[in-house]
């Protein structure tokens, strides 16, 4: 065999990749599959219908039950708990166990609990002690019970200062670190009778819209967006309250805080967009360059990355 098994480990499977290390008191059942260069620490139990990819770290005290699939480069912290039956009863078994998929590069903190039937997206991070009750988007950071999104991995906050809103010297367009994405300070006119913010299409807003929509009454814990467009351009303004927008060009992520009607962010085609951290009173206005077309949406982040590499979908 070309993997290491501690003398006090019980490895019944013949499907363990080269360079993998299985430490003391770990138990791997006969039909389990474990990839190369993994680190299976003390007191880990791996059931039969389990697939573990390459370069996976499973720390002490973890049980991987039937139905769990772990992709490459995943970190699983000590005593993280996986489940595969939403309604368990002693000596009663479901027709099929719930499936759980942990996608490549994700990290699960110590003592987190993962309910069955969900997917934890690529590079997501699950906080220690969190209880994950529904699927987690790629790159999301979730914490709590039930786990909620609190941020996105490597989504650096834009440093635009809201204090400059309404200052005529600051009106204009600012470049960002995300390909094609720009931040716009629109003209604001304060008045004792009521303030006004104005922008002109194809001047301040870099396209002529064919559609608009409003997003409001969003529960503060919810996340919207989580998609890209093949050809549609969008311009986002929080006309009331506060909304955080994450833009992702496939290489970098940046987060923008929309907290004034005079601040907008432009998302060109083939930009993965996310909106979250809605304040209770938030109203998000979105101008779109095209009529609604479901075929224009890319809703899977993995597909988005593949298309970015291939150059498909650009307008």
Domain boundaries, the chain: 1-88+95-153, 156-310
Check if 1-88+95-153 and 156-310 are the same fold. no
- Put simply, whether the predicted model's pTM sits higher than 0.85 gets the answer yes
Distances (CA, A) of 227 to 65, 284, 299: 32, 16, 5
Q: How confident is the model at residue 310 (pLDDT cuts 50, 70, 90)?
A: confident
pLDDT surpasses 60 at 190:
yes
Cβ–Cβ < 8 Å for 209, 257? no
> CA-to-CA distance for 175 and 135, rounded, in angstroms?
33
Report pLDDT for 220.
79
Fold of 156-310: Jelly Rolls (2.60.120)
pLDDT surpasses 50 at 166:
no
Count the helices and strands in the chain (H runs, E runs).
1, 35
* Helical (H) or strand (E) element with 70: strand 68-70
Residues 6+ apart with CB under 8 A from 306: none
Residue-wise pLDDT tens digits, 17-62:
999 999 999 999 999 999 999 999 999 999 999 999 999 999 999 9
> CA-to-CA distance for 183 and 114, rounded, in angstroms?
38
User: Which among 57, 24, 61, 54 has a CA at the least distance from the CA of 39?
Assistant: 57
User: Which among 182, 199, 200, 209 has a CA at the least distance from the CA of 292?
Assistant: 209
CATH number of 1-88+95-153: 2.160.10.10
Distances (CA, A) of 250 to 89, 90, 122, 126: 44, 46, 13, 21
Report pLDDT for 167.
45
Give residue for tokens 């003398």.
7
Report pLDDT for 275.
96
Q: How confident is the model at residue 315 (pLDDT cuts 50, 70, 90)?
A: very low
Q: Which is more confidently placed, 194 or 215?
A: 215
Report pLDDT for 240.
95
Average pLDDT over residues 208-228: 92
Peptide linkage before 146 cis (omega within 30 of 0):
yes
Cβ–Cβ < 8 Å for 303, 310? no
> CA-to-CA distance for 22 and 122, rounded, in angstroms?
25
Tally of CB atoms within 10 A around 307: 18
Q: Which is more confidently placed, 87 or 168?
A: 87
Report pLDDT for 153.
95
Residues 6+ apart with CB under 8 A from 269: 228, 229, 230, 231, 232, 233, 313, 314, 315
Q: 266 pairs with which residues across the strands?
A: 182, 235
Mind telling me the catalytic residues? 227
Angle at 70 between CA 69 and CA 73, to 5 degrees: 165
Residue-wise pLDDT tens digits, 58-82:
999 999 999 999 999 999 999 999 9
Helical ranges in 99-175 per DSSP H = none
> CA-to-CA distance for 176 and 116, rounded, in angstroms?
39
Residue-wise pLDDT tens digits, 108-163:
999 999 999 999 999 999 999 999 999 999 999 999 999 999 999 999 888 654 43
> CA-to-CA distance for 136 and 148, rounded, in angstroms?
9
The rounded mean pLDDT for the chain is 93
DSSP summary character for residue 303:
H
């Amino acid at each position: 065999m070309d993997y290491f098994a501690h003398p006090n480990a019980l490895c019944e499977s013949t499907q363990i990749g080269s360079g993998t290390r299985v430490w003391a008191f770990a138990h791997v059942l006969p039909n389990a599959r474990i990839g190369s260069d993994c680190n299976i620490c003390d007191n880990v139990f791996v059931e039969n219908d389990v697939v573990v990819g390459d370069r996976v770290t499973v720390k002490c005290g973890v049980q991987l039950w039937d139905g769990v699939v772990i992709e490459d480069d995943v970190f699983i912290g000590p005593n993280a708990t996986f489940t595969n039956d939403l309604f368990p009863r002693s000596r009663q078994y479901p027709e099929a166990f719930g499936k759980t998929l942990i996608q490549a590069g994700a990290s699960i903190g110590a003592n987190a609990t993962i309910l069955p039937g969900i997917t934890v997206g690529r590079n997501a991070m699950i906080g220690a002690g969190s209880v994950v009750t529904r699927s987690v988007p790629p790159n999301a950071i979730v914490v709590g019970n039930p786990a909620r999104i609190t941020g996105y991995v490597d989504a650096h906050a834009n440093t635009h200062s809201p204090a400059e809103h309404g200052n005529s010297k600051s009106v204009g367009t600012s470049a960002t670190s995300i390909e094609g994405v720009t931040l716009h300070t629109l003209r604001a006119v304060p008045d004792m009778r009521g303030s006004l913010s104005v922008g002109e299409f194809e001047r301040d807003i870099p396209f002529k819209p064919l559609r608009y929509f409003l997003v409001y009454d969003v529960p503060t814990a919810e996340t919207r967006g989580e998609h890209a467009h093949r050809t549609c351009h969008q311009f986002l303004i929080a006309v009331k309250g506060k909304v955080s927008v994450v833009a992702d060009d496939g290489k970098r992520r940046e987060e923008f805080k929309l907290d004034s009607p005079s601040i907008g962010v432009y998302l060109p085609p083939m930009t993965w967009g996310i909106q979250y951290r809605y304040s209770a009173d938030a109203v998000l206005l979105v101008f779109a360059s095209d009529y609604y077309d479901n075929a224009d949406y890319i809703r899977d982040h993995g597909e988005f990355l593949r298309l970015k590499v291939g150059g498909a979908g650009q307008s």
